[in-house]
A and B are shown apart, each in its own frame.
Chain A
């Protein structure tokens, strides 16, 4: 029986965490009860990107996009939509409903309309556990083309012509990296996929591994062919169990079809892939530390040169590429470098995937052509800032990046432009910060992270990050001086210039960029002893204004019982007891509680 309808259930980790796992069983049950189970195909797919609105169910051929779906909704979807053909409007993602209540298809929604999905071309569209669905979408054609129609050098030249640059943070031209490894003669070479993804809050690589593992396998094999390696490793953090499981399934299926193994496509090319698990240290994403970790050593960086392309894993020429970089590779070979090079800007080609988070309505994964402006990402795709708050900054590049102020929102996203304003592309974390945040506090968050993650090998990073965090703590406590800010800046520059690896070299970036764009906020902390964002506890008081309607909600929620007042009367806080936890602020229905 041919199915007339496909029901795609998002099974990315974010949706599973929101309860997507039980949805499939519900569908099975209700479709069977209605006697139409055989007419409908149920497909578990990878992340569709709009995580804030998950779990999702997408019904084809119409492309109807149901959001925030709960188990109990499935019965209605089965009975109404799948049985009687009546779309359940109440469950349709609100941005997919037009004013006249027409339902727009999945890819017509604003969130997707401005996106171009290359790396994510199959995510949310295919079942990652079924290699045939990947092949149906032209999977492994790029590999076939490389192995049968192109020389190794031609593959490298194709990559160079495409303009693809590393998506792991550095932005190094992928083709050029491959060429270095190609030119280094050796009896054995290796290719490694870097799936460590250590940037807190970033999950684009996880989504790719979970949603389309074959694209990474295929990309890695093409890289192997190009440089002359017959062995590949995928280095994944153990905190990604679903990704690891999908990857294992995919590798096994590829082996069974003879896509991994010996004499692939009769070309004489052999290739094998192994998964290596990392313990989740940020520094293990740095390529030399990653190699040390695969070799069984402690994950610590070493000096470069020699670069891995010369002396990498087991001292053999090795290339390391990021997950997203590799996901682009098969499509570039299949569609051609020229096609890819048309997308994006002069120096930054193709697309970039971002994990959009923080104070944003449509948090999730977005993939946009290079050259898209930050404004388009935040307002058109991300839906803007919730609760009518003002935008204060956009943070890109995670703990290695910086904050971009609102007057630079029309900046086109490119490696160079982001670098010029003191931030970086990074691996793709994009955190939207609204007015209720404090820049000193955010710097503290990132520095706490780098202090924890520093491997300790070199002094500037090991001691410097700690010292910088201490200085931030002093500023946040109100005991800082203007001189402290200058000292902090001085130290930050020193750590940046003298650390051994990228971790230490980039750790001061959040501080340096915040000082460049938000110096006045730091100064307010030390001169006026005030925290404009209302986050530094030592510098704020919590007050109840006259707007209080006396609902008593705050009283019931205060953990130290320091709020008094009778019902329907103005309430007050005993500031000598208040621990400034902010809970009352969050529960007050009329925003009568403020921190100043």
Chain B
């Protein structure tokens, strides 16, 4: 170890190893992953979220699979939780995922094409 910069490089590279642990106060992406969600194609959707969030370095955002929300007909369902705000997207596919990430998670604008209800608790 020849300088503090070397240490910082290791630190930055290793951040993703531990970031998720501890308090998570940022945006949460919940993907409905009950049997109905999975059969409707929720798994590739979730993987896409994980992959893209890492790619864009959105370190405050976590992805969590959740159980059935009870609206199996319009699965896959993805919910974005930001503080008190909850946005629910339905019939999300890989293409929709990319838009949600770009427009909502990065751009801060809800992708109304896929929304079933805003601020629904």
A interface with B by C-beta (< 8 Å)? 1-6, 8, 39, 41, 60-63, 82-86, 105, 107, 125-126, 130, 132-133, 135-138, 140-141, 144, 148, 257-259, 263-266
CA distance A62 to B28 in the complex (A): 10
Report whether B67 and A140 are in contact in the complex, using a CB–CB cutoff of 8 Å.
no
Contacts of B16 in A (CB 8 A): 2
Report whether B20 and A60 are in contact in the complex, using a CB–CB cutoff of 8 Å.
yes
Report whether B50 and A136 are in contact in the complex, using a CB–CB cutoff of 8 Å.
no
**Option from B17, B22, B28, B54 in Cβ contact (under 8 Å) with A132:** B17
CA distance A6 to B63 in the complex (A): 11
Contacts of A39 in B (CB 8 A): 47, 50
Tell me which of B29-37, B88-96, B98-106, B108-116 binds A.
B29-37
Contacts of A3 in B (CB 8 A): 50
CA distance A6 to B21 in the complex (A): 8
Contacts of A257 in B (CB 8 A): 1, 10
Contacts of B2 in A (CB 8 A): 258, 263, 265-266
Report whether A132 and B20 are in contact in the complex, using a CB–CB cutoff of 8 Å.
no
Contacts of B20 in A (CB 8 A): 5-6, 60-61
Tell me the chain B residues, 54-76 only, with Cβ under 8 Å from chain A.
54, 62-67
**9 new A-B pairs (CB below 8 Å) besides A2-B16, A3-B50, A61-B20?**
A39-B47, A60-B24, A61-B62, A84-B67, A125-B18, A136-B15, A141-B11, A258-B2, A265-B1
**Option from B10, B35, B63 in Cβ contact (under 8 Å) with A135:** B10
Report whether B18 and A2 are in contact in the complex, using a CB–CB cutoff of 8 Å.
no
CA distance A264 to B3 in the complex (A): 8
Q: Nearest residue in B to A132 (C-beta to C-beta)?
A: B14
Report whether A138 and B11 are in contact in the complex, using a CB–CB cutoff of 8 Å.
yes
**Option from A83, A107, A144 in Cβ contact (under 8 Å) with B7:** A144
Q: Nearest residue in A to B49 (C-beta to C-beta)?
A: A4
Q: Nearest residue in B to A38 (C-beta to C-beta)?
A: B47
Report whether B64 and A61 are in contact in the complex, using a CB–CB cutoff of 8 Å.
yes
Tell me the smallest distance from the CB of A79 to a CB of chain B, in Å: 11
Interface CB pairs A-B, < 8 A, 28: A2-B51, A2-B54, A4-B46, A6-B20, A8-B21, A39-B50, A60-B24, A61-B62, A63-B23, A82-B65, A85-B32, A86-B34, A105-B24, A132-B10, A135-B7, A135-B10, A136-B14, A136-B15, A136-B17, A136-B18, A141-B11, A144-B4, A144-B7, A257-B1, A258-B2, A259-B1, A265-B1, A265-B3
Contacts of B38 in A (CB 8 A): 84
What is the number of residues of chain B that contact chain A, defined by CB distance less than 8 Å?
40
Tell me the smallest distance from the CB of A56 to a CB of chain B, in Å: 14
Contacts of B63 in A (CB 8 A): 4, 61
In the A-B complex, the 6 residue pairs with the smallest Cβ-Cβ separation, listed nearest first, are: A85-B65, A61-B62, A136-B14, A2-B54, A258-B1, A132-B14
CA distance A62 to B23 in the complex (A): 9
Tell me the smallest distance from the CB of B103 to a CB of chain A, in Å: 21
CA distance A116 to B15 in the complex (A): 23
Contacts of B24 in A (CB 8 A): 60-63, 105
Q: Nearest residue in B to A86 (C-beta to C-beta)?
A: B67
Contacts of A5 in B (CB 8 A): 20, 64
Tell me the smallest distance from the CB of B3 to a CB of chain A, in Å: 5
Tell me the smallest distance from the CB of A83 to a CB of chain B, in Å: 7
CA distance A263 to B23 in the complex (A): 37
Report whether A141 and B7 are in contact in the complex, using a CB–CB cutoff of 8 Å.
yes
* Known contacts A84-B34, A136-B14, A265-B1, A125 near B67 by CB under 8 Å: no
CA distance A135 to B11 in the complex (A): 5
Report whether A133 and B17 are in contact in the complex, using a CB–CB cutoff of 8 Å.
yes
Tell me the smallest distance from the CB of B58 to a CB of chain A, in Å: 11
CA distance A107 to B24 in the complex (A): 11
Contacts of B62 in A (CB 8 A): 61
Tell me the smallest distance from the CB of A373 to a CB of chain B, in Å: 26
Contacts of A63 in B (CB 8 A): 22-24
Report whether B4 and A83 are in contact in the complex, using a CB–CB cutoff of 8 Å.
no
Contacts of A265 in B (CB 8 A): 1-4, 6-7
Q: Nearest residue in A to B61 (C-beta to C-beta)?
A: A61
Q: Nearest residue in A to B11 (C-beta to C-beta)?
A: A135
CA distance A133 to B14 in the complex (A): 6
Tell me the smallest distance from the CB of A106 to a CB of chain B, in Å: 9
Contacts of A2 in B (CB 8 A): 16, 50-51, 53-54
Tell me the smallest distance from the CB of A134 to a CB of chain B, in Å: 9
Q: Nearest residue in A to B16 (C-beta to C-beta)?
A: A2
Q: Nearest residue in A to B32 (C-beta to C-beta)?
A: A85
CA distance A84 to B34 in the complex (A): 5
Contacts of B17 in A (CB 8 A): 41, 130, 132-133, 136
Q: Nearest residue in A to B65 (C-beta to C-beta)?
A: A85
Contacts of B30 in A (CB 8 A): 85
Contacts of A85 in B (CB 8 A): 30-34, 64-67
Q: Nearest residue in A to B46 (C-beta to C-beta)?
A: A4
Report whether B28 and A61 are in contact in the complex, using a CB–CB cutoff of 8 Å.
yes
Report whether B3 and A126 are in contact in the complex, using a CB–CB cutoff of 8 Å.
no
Contacts of A148 in B (CB 8 A): 4
CA distance A126 to B5 in the complex (A): 22
Contacts of A144 in B (CB 8 A): 4, 7
